[in-house]
Amino acid sequence: MAGSKNVRLQFDAWKALRTLKFETGMSSYSEVFETIFSVLEKGKTDLKEVIISKKPTDTGSVSKSDKTIVIDEDIHRKLAHYKEQYMIENDATARGPGAVSISQIVTTLIEKYREKL
């Protein structure tokens, strides 16, 4: 059985993910991500294109309103992969001005998932 990882999300990304979790009646954030990936992959959506189509914005520093979620290691690796692809394609960094955050990746995936429904 895979382990779990904590991921810190900006409040808006957490809220979108939490709303989707409640709407679908799923019991974990990992299940929500598995569903998102399943729908987007089934719909022949190029997830790499989804991620790299968004330009980086200034994400600022960690806020008190940020939330931490727990997800499976496999989901964590997949999100990290998309973040790395985004950074490569957009010459973005992981920190500082113009950095891409995992929250941006999560928000983008949820937006594309909702478009497919």
CB-CB neighbours of 10 under 10 Å = 20
Which pLDDT belongs to residue 51? 60
Q: State mean pLDDT over 94-100.
A: 74
Distance CA 33, CA 39 (A): 10
- Give the CA distances from residue 76 to residues 64, 98, 116, in Å, rounded to whole numbers and listed in that order: 22, 22, 23
| pTM of the shown model | 0.77
Q: State mean pLDDT over 23-43.
A: 89
Confidence of residue 1 (pLDDT cuts 50, 70, 90): very low
Query: Among 16-25, 43-52, 89-98, 104-113, which is the least confidently predicted range?
Result: 43-52
Distance CA 89, CA 20 (A): 28
